[in-house]
Structure 1
Amino acid sequence: MAKQQKAKAKAEQAKGKAKEAAGRAVGNEGLTAEGKMEQAKGDARQAKEKTKDVTKDVFRH
């Protein structure tokens, strides 16, 4: 499950970067903001998964 969540986080980050770039290219501030928001969502998901991994490692030892 964790691998799926990590992949989902990476996909959200990539999708957000693409939206942000497209928004900047056409001068659409809404699309740019939406892309940044999606990147932040992916970053948060990735941070959550890293925290879970660290917690698992701590309790294994």
Structure 2
Amino acid sequence: MSASEKVKAQAEQLAGKTLRKAAHAMRDHTTEAKGAALETRGKAREAKERGKDTFKR
């Protein structure tokens, strides 16, 4: 996994988690769902990069 892709994945996960938790505290369900989607996208990006690394070896 390249360092820049790893940072992007971690940043998306952190931003999504922060957005989701803040929206949950404000009881804003739409924004909470957007935060969860962003977090999931970060996890998917990380999984994709791990898969690429597995096949490189």
TM-score (norm 1): 0.88
Unaligned runs of 5+ residues in structure 2 are: none
Aligned equivalent of 2:15: 15
Aligned equivalent of 1:25: 25
Structure 1 distance, partners of 2:8, 2:47, is 12
Structure 2 distance, partners of 1:45, 1:19, is 18
How far off is 1:56 after superposition?
Answer: 0.7
1:34-49 map, 5 Å: 34-49=34-49
Q: Percent of pairs identical after alignment?
A: 39
Q: Larger radius of gyration, structure 1 or 2?
A: 1
Moved over 4 A (4+): none
Structure showing greater relative contact order (alpha-carbon pairs closer than 8 Å, 6 or more residues apart): 2
